Amino acid sequence: MKIMFNGYLGILALLIAPMAAAQMNSADLYAARSSFHSSGCSSCHTAADSAAGPSLQAIAKRYKGKAVVAELADRIRSGSQGRWGDLPHPAIDYLSQSEAILMAKWILGGAR
Ligand code: HEC
- With a cut of 60, say whether residue 97 has pLDDT above it: yes
- Residue 14 binned pLDDT confidence (cut-offs 50, 70, 90): very low
Domain range summary for the chain, segments of one domain joined by +: 2-108
Supply the DSSP string of 31-49, one letter for each residue: HHHHHHHHTTGGGTB-SSS
- With a cut of 80, say whether residue 48 has pLDDT above it: yes
The minimum-distance atom of ligand 1 relative to the CA of 95 is 38
Kindly give, in sequence order, each residue whose CB lies less than 8 Å from that of residue 30, ignoring residues fewer than 6 positions away.
none
| pTM given for the model | 0.85
**Which residue type is seen at 20?**
A
According to the CATH classification, is domain 2-108 in 3.40.50.300? no
At residue 74's C-alpha, the angle toward residues 73 and 78, to 5°, is 125
The share of the chain scoring above pLDDT 70, in percent, equals 80
The minimum-distance atom of ligand 1 relative to the CA of 52 is 12
- Residue 23 binned pLDDT confidence (cut-offs 50, 70, 90): confident
